Amino acid sequence: MSNKRKVLVACAAAVVVIGGFVFWFAVVRDDDELVAELPAVETTTTTAGSGPGGSTGATTAPGEPGTAASTTPDATSVTTSDTTSGPGANDGTADGTWTLEPGDGEAMFVGYNIEETLRGIDATATGTTGAYEGSLTVDGASVTALSVSVDMTTLASDEGFRDNALRDDGLETDTFPQAVFTLVSPIELPDAPVVGEEVAATATGELDLHGVVRMVDVAVTGRWNGDTIDVTGTIPIVLSDYAITAPVRGFVSVRDEGEIVFVLRFAQ
């Protein structure tokens, strides 16, 4: 082989290697993994005589009695008193049907965590959407109905290449634009919801994803805030269970296992 040819081959190999790592940095680099956590709340303690015609007591942050709480955009005001404002105010319960509010894709979202691999280097890819609709019905210590429908075509990550690929590969969102969870049996809570208290439970339902419907048990955590209900959880997913072929594009391959993560807010 001539020296010129050797130089060309070496240059081509360098371009492939460097290009691969540039591609990894731009597309496959590790994202912050999505976490199923209820948003922060501030607790307002209502003293006797507060409300109309009365005075309001101090506002404190959880775990910081007697100190003023700072308010963040994601904070939810929770009033602890004999009566609450908003839904359930008439009878002091969370009973009734609550409507899922659209999310912002950040504080409130449905999204995914999945591992991508570039030549043995693993990284977590994430994507979220706030485009969904649904409802939740509470009756005493039971959640009798729950449904969530997600517009999968609006899933967005930090890389447009990945998002565009999902349209006709992997999730194939152009062909299967909706994913739906439907509760099939009531969620039995230990007690009727109390304002500000977190409750852990299991939601058993049907997950319709990529045109395949499967039964799933979802560990959820919820909290009645008085005028809203927040629900969060994670659904482990095996792509092949839903006839999803894990994408392989160039240097990048995707594992067969991932998870759906959600942080949702319902209002009435």
Strands 41-45 and 252-267: unpaired
The answer to whether the beta carbons of residues 226 and 88 sit under 8 Å apart is yes
Write down the pTM of the prediction.
Answer: 0.74
Q: Count how many Cα atoms sit within 13 Å of the Cα of residue 137 in the half-sphere of its side chain.
A: 10
Name 181's Cβ contacts closer than 8 Å, sequence gap at least 6. 146, 147, 148, 205, 206, 207, 208, 216, 218, 235
Residue written as token pair 């309001």: 56
**pLDDT-based confidence at residue 88 (cuts at 50, 70, 90):** low
Distance of alpha carbon 68 from alpha carbon 266, whole angstroms:
27
- pLDDT, tens digit (0-9, with 9 covering 90-100), for 223-264: 999 999 999 999 999 999 999 998 877 778 889 999 999 999
**Of 91 and 126, which is predicted with more confidence?**
126
CA 5 to chain centre: 53
Class of domain 31-37+87-267: mainly beta
Structural domain boundaries in the chain:
31-37+87-267
Cβ neighbours of 5 (radius 10 Å): 9
- pLDDT, tens digit (0-9, with 9 covering 90-100), for 29-41: 446 899 999 998 7
Distance of alpha carbon 101 from alpha carbon 136, whole angstroms:
11
Rg value, the chain, Cα: 24
Looking at residue 32, what DSSP letter applies?
P
Q: Which two tokens stand for residue 225?
A: 């805030």
- pLDDT, tens digit (0-9, with 9 covering 90-100), for 174-232: 999 999 999 999 999 999 999 999 999 999 999 999 999 999 999 999 999 999 999 99
Percent of the chain with pLDDT over 90: 59
**Backbone angles phi and psi of 231, in degrees to 5:** -135, 135
Indicate the helix (H) or strand (E) that contains 236: strand 228-238
Distance of alpha carbon 263 from alpha carbon 37, whole angstroms:
7
Residue written as token pair 């307002």: 44
Cβ neighbours of 64 (radius 10 Å): 10
Strands 228-238 and 132-139: unpaired
